[in-house]
Structure 1
């Protein structure tokens, strides 16, 4: 008859015929642990921690470098977006009915504004040719002052808030008077036809990815190229106020 193996631990007791355990003599257990249940030794733990430390020290700088590179790319894209908006605004001022003097009214037709020989719109006896990319003309004359005959935007808020415009005609920048039958344009605010249209050049005031603030350094069209201050006549160019150096060795303020 086969015996059942109850346990791998056997009790070792005295070889006496008596089953009574004498005082001070307790049964002892002789147990063997399975060979597959061994734990980690101290040396193995130290090796594992060393490897993890080396990997961490190598990965963290790469992550920081990647984040910095992404911020610099966003800064370039943001500067490009603002500069394109400034250029588009300036294109839409060609053929504008505004003479450059401050006014509280909005003109509706270029022909209604008298032109002089010194007027920048009257070059070689006529108005300068409009850029083919410009489909509208800015008629919001109150934003232009005598200090800004170049007709660049006075500030970035003007590009965000929008300006009054009218559709550009085919006659050298003259305007076409709006009628009730005119349909809405892609650059209009609102979907209803109206004699007064607005065009927005920036959806919102951009935030500098490097500084984390919507604060920029401006240059007017009358400032010298290496000027460190803004004359406030207009916004001809925009730069970052970050004082650091990019990965390519250039200063952020020089971009």
Structure 2
């Protein structure tokens, strides 16, 4: 009598079912983990941009850098100025930089941000120009906290 080795059909079905259940649990966890990581990056990038804007304003008020026009309320005219740098007060050759680069929005992958000036409405989605008072994400969608990314 010869004995055949291998798996029975029942063992293969049970194994496939267990693997399917495990896969169906791990895929949503991985997806949520990726979204959570993007949200953490968005928070960090917004904080970095807002801190650079605040540092620029503080140094302009203290006359440590060449002040922007009076109608700008000491705010930078664009985000690019924070990267390019501004001449230090009393020096033509030395520049003060506030950012190494404009970070990309983790959800859109672009280095484009919504801008507001100090005269714009807090919920405005258009920039009034002249200076940058605040930044927000242009990404569609809502965060895991229930707040749209544009309102972060």
Specify the TM-score bucket, using the shorter chain as the normaliser.
over 0.9
Quick one: higher RCO (CA 8 Å, sep 6+), 1 or 2? Answer: 2
Map 1:22-171 → 2, pairs under 5 A: 32-33=1-2, 38-96=5-63, 137-139=64-66, 144-145=68-69, 147-148=71-72, 150-166=73-89
Q: How many residues align?
A: 152
CA distance in 2: counterparts of 1:227 and 1:55, whole angstroms: 45
Deviations 1:97-142 (A, max 9, x none): xxxxxxxxxxxxxxxxxxxxxxxxxxxxxxxxxxxxxxxx012x5x
CA distance in 2: counterparts of 1:86 and 1:164, whole angstroms: 16
Residue 49 of structure 1 aligns to a residue in which SS? Answer: helix
CA distance in 2: counterparts of 1:252 and 1:222, whole angstroms: 22
TM-score w.r.t. length of structure 1: 0.57
Which portions of structure 1, spanning 4 or more consecutive aligned residues, are displaced by more than 4 angstroms?
Answer: none
Residue 95 of structure 2 aligns to a residue in which SS? Answer: strand
Map 1:10-29 → 2, pairs under 5 A: none
Q: CA deviation at 1:249?
A: 0.5
Deviations 1:172-215 (A, max 9, x none): xxxxx56xxxxxxxxxxxxxxxx631111011111000111111
TM-score w.r.t. length of structure 2: 0.93
Bigger Rg over Cα:
1
Residue 115 of structure 2 aligns to a residue in which SS? Answer: strand
Ranges in structure 1 where 5+ consecutive residues have no aligned partner: 1-31, 97-136, 167-176, 179-194
Give the structure 2 partner of residue 218 of structure 1. Answer: 115
